[in-house]
Amino acid sequence: PVRAPYAVKDMAADAVGVLDALGIARAHVVGASLGGMICQHVAAHWPQRVASLSLIMTTSGSRRLPGPTLQARRVLLARPPDGRLETLVAHSIRVFTTIGSPAFRPPPDELRARVVASVLRASRPAGTARQLVAIAADGDRTPLLARIQAPTQVIHGVVDPLVPVANGRDLVQRIPGALGDFIEGMGHDLPQQLLPRIAQGIARNAQRAS
């Protein structure tokens, strides 16, 4: 067993706390990667708060499902040698290039600009480490999936090296009434070229709530 000071279910409770603070009774809930794991908890433990659910490139955490490729695992666990901006940017570019969508590569200048903006906005290596520990501690969420009542769509890249597509197909099979959109050439990122398709899928799934 892995013990985490801050659990995935805690993150889900925080999300529900934001809805409480904003006075929102029900919401269309969308989560990608770790966000999708958090959303599974929200939908299972607070079903009355979730109008629809969209899960992007995520997993139930079942150990019988395939995990990251060796290359993706290595780049995810690697740490930059120092905290200088250029070092952090170079490291992040390596990560995104390794796990990203091979069919939808952004221009190098565009990728660098996005990474620089992200690092300047919030670079918290200790927070990232705590997130990884929380994922490991959360274990298998399969028992939660049958409790999800909201209309659900699963969006997943067919060539995702970090969370292989079998994880997304498994979610579709286990969540009652779930639909799947499995995108050729997409890895573990949200390419600009695919944002209209992803947004339209979220909107169609939200319409099922009515």
19-63 pLDDT, tens digit each: 999 999 999 999 999 999 999 999 999 999 999 999 999 999 999
**What is the phi/psi pair of residue 69, to 5°?**
-65, 160
Structure pTM?
0.94
123-164 pLDDT, tens digit each: 888 888 899 899 999 999 999 999 999 999 999 999 999 999
Burial class of residue 185 in the structure, from the number of CB atoms within 10 Å of its CB (0-12 exposed, 13-18 middle, 19+ buried): middle
How would DSSP label each residue in 62-75? -TTS----HHHHHH
Task: Give the helix ranges, DSSP H, for 33-184.
Answer: 34-45, 70-77, 85-99, 108-121, 125-138, 142-145, 165-174
Task: Dig out the tokens for 10 from the structure.
Answer: 């805690």
